[in-house]
Amino acid sequence: MSVDADEVRRRARGFLAAHPPETTERLAFLRARYDAGLAWVHYPVGLGGLDAPRALQQVVEAEMTAAGAPGGNGPEINGIGLGMAAPTILRYGTDWQKERFLRPLWCGEELWCQLFSEPGAGSDLASLATRAVREGDSWVVTGQKVWTSGAHNADFAILIARTDPDVAKHQGITYFLCDMRVEGVEVRPLRQITGEAEFNEVFLSEVRIPDSHRLGEVGEGWRVAQTTLNNERVAIGGSRLPREGGHIGLVADVWRERPELRTPELHQRLLSLWVEAEALRLAGERLRQQLVAGHPGPEGAGMKLGFARLAQEISAYGVELMGEEGLAYDDWTMVRPERVDFLAREAGYRYLRAKGNSIEGGTSEILLNIVAERVLGLPAEPRTDVGVAWKDLPR
């Protein structure tokens, strides 16, 4: 039976009648919602979904919101799990991996982080040096990862490591699901310009990962990682916003409420930024329509590029609009935040935090290359490492 909006609405209302939000314990409610296929409706039946079009998720969320239902640990808490780990597990995972990881991930029982970047492999991720060596039914992993958001709170991580140094760098990588609570995992904070330490460096010292936690085939980790990275860029740059949502709404509110701050020059700049923000929002809507038909592709790189640039320009405008007030920032102490909601913070904080937007999720320079080569079809940049074994590359 095909599932349409009326059917999804009927199921959501029936679920709410059977599990009243005001009397059902939060975790029990979320588990039952997952089992009813109302977690992410475009996922398969039995894995939190109904095999329905992705767009029908809006119908579910409207019914849940109207009923005052508890939300899951959403993107602000478990963004890496929901936006990156889950779609990758769904596409490449074994039946056991899907059953084991997707339900507690969606319900927020297990938080996830991403162990990809390294001190010597950031923009050139395929140069990574973290090694995984097979020992019986396990892999022994040793290396260092960096810029790991939320590692201090994470239960599991998506991890790529080198399993064959004798082949070209893109070919000798394997993808794993790593338990962050096992022996050999050490997490250290990295203090940022904001004073916070939401990022971390992670040291892996002979960490044992069972082969059952390998995602995809041995040596196919780069292909699997592309699914993760494409979803990451969409998650960062393509989140659904109402008109005048996000950064632009904050400065527009200040403009309306504080007429004494206005100047003709600031007015013209605000109009320009507002138009750009609306154009990017509509481009995001178009991208989400494309996602209904399949997996995200390189177009997400363009969305993430636009998001990073606009977030930095608008946050800088917000500081300038408010003058001396815009420089105020109430907490410079190092904290280990459980969630990052910088839209709820001061203009000074938003300005500083937005500097990271052009690095996280792929640097803007790398994303420009992706757009040029894979979206526009321009000639690729010359490469000297094609066909060269990773062990023979200069580092």
User: How many other C-beta atoms lie within 10 A of the C-beta of residue 311?
Assistant: 26
* DSSP summary character for residue 319: H
Q: What is the rounded CA–CA span in Å between residue 303 and residue 239?
A: 10
Residue written as tokens 């085939």?
Answer: 217
Buried b (16+ CB within 10 A) or exposed e, 180-211: beeeebebebeeeebebbbbbbbebeebbbee
Tokens representing residue 254 in the block: 């200040």
Q: In degrees, to the nearest 5, what angle opens at C-alpha 199 toward C-alphas 198 and 204?
A: 130
Tokens representing residue 324 in the block: 């001396």
* DSSP summary character for residue 167: S
User: How many other C-beta atoms lie within 10 A of the C-beta of residue 294?
Assistant: 7
106: Cβ contacts below 8 Å, ≥ 6 apart? 30, 34, 39, 40, 48, 72, 82, 86
Q: What is the rounded CA–CA span in Å between residue 106 and residue 109?
A: 8
342: Cβ contacts below 8 Å, ≥ 6 apart? 349, 350, 353, 354
**Which of 63, 110, 232, 346 is an active site residue?**
232
Tell me, what's the pLDDT at 242?
Answer: 83
Q: What is the rounded CA–CA span in Å between residue 356 and residue 192?
A: 9
User: How many other C-beta atoms lie within 10 A of the C-beta of residue 324?
Assistant: 7
Tell me, what's the pLDDT at 332?
Answer: 62
Instruction: Please indicate whether residue 346 is annotated as part of the active site.
Output: no
* DSSP summary character for residue 97: H
Q: What is the rounded CA–CA span in Å between residue 48 and residue 21?
A: 19
Tell me, what's the pLDDT at 31?
Answer: 95
Which architecture, in CATH terms, is 112-219? Beta Barrel (2.40)
Query: The CATH number of 225-375 is which of 4.10.490.10, 3.30.1330.10, 3.40.50.300, 1.20.140.10?
Result: 1.20.140.10
- How many residues would you count in the chain? 395
Q: In degrees, to the nearest 5, what angle opens at C-alpha 379 toward C-alphas 378 and 382?
A: 145
CA 20 to chain centroid, in Å, comes to 31
* DSSP summary character for residue 170: T
The answer, as to whether pTM is greater than 0.85, is yes
Buried b (16+ CB within 10 A) or exposed e, 31-57: bebbebbbbbbbbeeebbbbebbbebb
Residue written as tokens 């640990």?
Answer: 73
β-pairing verdict for 199-210 and 185-190: antiparallel
Tokens representing residue 3 in the block: 């599932």
DSSP, collapsed to helix, strand or coil, labels residue 264 as helix
Domain ranges of the chain: 5-106, 112-219, 225-375
347: Cβ contacts below 8 Å, ≥ 6 apart? 250, 315, 318, 319, 321, 322, 325, 326, 328
Q: Which CATH class name applies to 5-106?
A: mainly alpha
Q: In degrees, to the nearest 5, what angle opens at C-alpha 173 toward C-alphas 187 and 218?
A: 110
Per-residue pLDDT of the chain (395 residues; tens, 9 = 90+): 578 999 999 999 999 999 999 999 999 999 999 999 999 999 999 999 999 988 899 999 999 999 999 875 554 578 899 989 999 999 999 999 999 999 999 999 999 999 999 998 887 899 999 999 999 999 999 999 999 989 999 999 999 999 999 999 999 999 999 999 999 999 999 988 888 888 899 999 999 999 999 999 999 999 999 999 887 766 665 567 788 988 999 999 999 999 999 999 999 999 999 999 999 988 887 777 666 555 666 777 788 889 899 999 999 999 999 998 888 776 666 677 666 667 778 899 899 999 988 888 778 888 888 888 888 899 988 888 888 999 999 87
**Shortest CA distance to 252 belongs to which of 309, 318, 328?**
318
Asked if 5-106 and 225-375 have one fold, the answer is: no
Tell me, what's the pLDDT at 364?
Answer: 86
Tell me, what's the pLDDT at 296?
Answer: 63
**Shortest CA distance to 152 belongs to which of 118, 183, 107, 198?**
198
CB contact at 8 A, 179 and 151: no
